[in-house]
Structure 1
Amino acid sequence: MLLWINGPFGGGKTQTAYELRRRLPGRVVCDPEHVGFGLHRMLPRELRSDFQDLAAWRQGVYEVLDLTLRGYEGVVIAPMTVVEPAYFEETVGRLRAAGHEVHHFALLAERETVLRRLTERGLGRGLKRESFAVRQLDLCLERLNRPLFAEHIRTDRVGVPQVADNIAASAGLSLEPNMDGPLRHRLRKAWTGLKHIRIG
């Protein structure tokens, strides 16, 4: 089974993916961004743009997830923003057509909520560090609200553990209980954020 967690940049995809990994036995996170980072590292800086526009990214994501789903017995979790319908079909749609059980979720929130989250993860630099995410925000929210990108989960007033609970329930999965108190949850969230800061 594949859980593809979509949403705007700053929408909580990575935090939710690692909350699911923490509380779900027999699971693995396969982050499609890493395919894009690899392609970017192969290109001169001046030729780098949105790696999703590269056919190699879409093909690579499909091949890696197809291989993982065929050879790994546990649940596979992929946190990745994809809002271009054609690219969605080349990845999520193609995996479904190959016979895989794919559950897709779009984490949605009000614009102000996402901007606040982007500010919080800017490590004191405000939204400057997240300029690409801010530029893409309105497009992401508009596209992801479309029926193609369902199932939609609103996250404005719901914490990461509850979002994970909702995803698991929709996919028919049982999570281990969340035993974190408020402080431990904040520390875990901060640690996950630090481990997944994009550099370069």
Structure 2
Amino acid sequence: MIVWINGTHGVGKTTTAALVQQLLPDSRVLDAEKVGGVLMDISPGLPETDNFQHWDPWRPLVVDTARRVLDYVGGTLVMPMTVLVEPYWREISAGLAEHGIPVHHFVLHADGDTLRHRIDNDAVMGPSWFRHAYVEPYLEAARTWLHDEAAVIDVTHATPEAAARQIADSVLAPAG
């Protein structure tokens, strides 16, 4: 199975994913951003873009990479990755479903002011124009489709540990 942790840049996906991995038996983290990094290293040849998700190969490569890793090692993949474009999410989730891979989709959510404050005060990365550029697209996706597609975890006042525990408890809860 896949535990997909969505949300905008700077909300805590990577930190939370590492903690979720510690709580779920036989799990490992697969960062789909690294698939984008592979594509970014192809030069010249790919069209100019501000986001590797716009390249058509990225989405099926994410699906195929996840499928092949699961076929090889089994277990659970915890995938922290922002996907804010609805057709892109539909393509990825449909591709995973075609391979019979169940996906537990979570969105880490904080309001716009909280996100901007965290981005401006990030002790590791410092202020980031890139992260700021995705606050409004995230809020729009949250209003229009994203929160309907996932379990929303409000991290405005929650620690990454609390968010990870909530995700793990949800995944491990008996179905029914």
Q: State the TM bucket, normalised to the shorter chain.
A: 0.7 to 0.9
2:138 aligned residue: 140
- Uncovered stretches (5+) of structure 1, i.e. residues with no partner: 174-200
For 1:167, the equivalent position in structure 2 comes to 167
Partner of 2:75: 74
Deviations 1:3-56 (A, max 9, x none): 000001111100100111233331110100001111112135993531000011
Distance (whole Å) between structure 1 residues aligned to residue 74 and residue 17 of structure 2: 18
1:21 and 2:21 matched? yes
SS of 1:19's equivalent in the other structure is helix
Q: Determine helix, strand or coil for the equivalent of 2:9.
A: coil
Q: Is residue 17–residue 80 contact of structure 2 (8 Å, CA) maintained in 1?
A: yes
Deviation at residue 124 of structure 1 after TM alignment: 7.4
In structure 2, C-alpha distance between the alignment counterparts of 1:161 and 1:93, rounded to whole Å: 30
Query: Per-residue deviation at 1:75?
Result: 1.4
Asked if the contact 2:60–2:95 (Cα under 8 Å) also holds between the matched residues in 1, the reply is no
Aligned twin of 2:5: 5
Q: Against the structure 1 CA distance between its residues 124 and 166, is the aligned structure 2 distance closer, same or farther, given a 3 Å change threshold? A: closer
Tell me the residue number matched to 2:115: 114
Match of 1:157 in 2: 157
Identity %: 31
Q: Which moved more, 1:132-141 or 1:77-86?
A: 132-141
Gap runs ≥5 in structure 2: none
Q: Deviations over 1:120-177 (max 9, x none)?
A: 336474x2xx11221121111220343443211111111111101111111126xxxx
Q: Is 1:38 aligned to residue 48 of structure 2?
A: no
Please give the root-mean-square deviation of Cα atoms over the aligned residues, in Å: 2.2
Contact 1:69 1:76 in 2 (8 A): yes
Q: Do the aligned residues in 2 keep the contact of 1:106 with 1:144 (CA within 8 Å)?
A: no
Q: How many residues align?
A: 171
**What is residue 63 of structure 1 aligned with on the other side?**
64
What SS class does the counterpart of residue 55 from structure 1 fall into?
coil
Note the alpha carbon deviations across 1:53-82, whole angstroms, 9 max, x for none: 001111110100111223322211000000
Matches of 1:50 and 1:124, distance apart in 2: 19
Aligned residue runs from structure 1 range 115-130, under 5 A? 115-121=116-122, 123=124, 125=126, 127=127, 130=128
Q: Is the 8 A contact 1:16 1:161 kept in 2?
A: yes
Q: CA contact under 8 A between 1:6 and 1:107: conserved in structure 2?
A: yes
CA contact (8 A) 2:63 2:92 kept: yes
Instruction: Indicate the larger mover: 90-99 or 45-54.
Output: 45-54
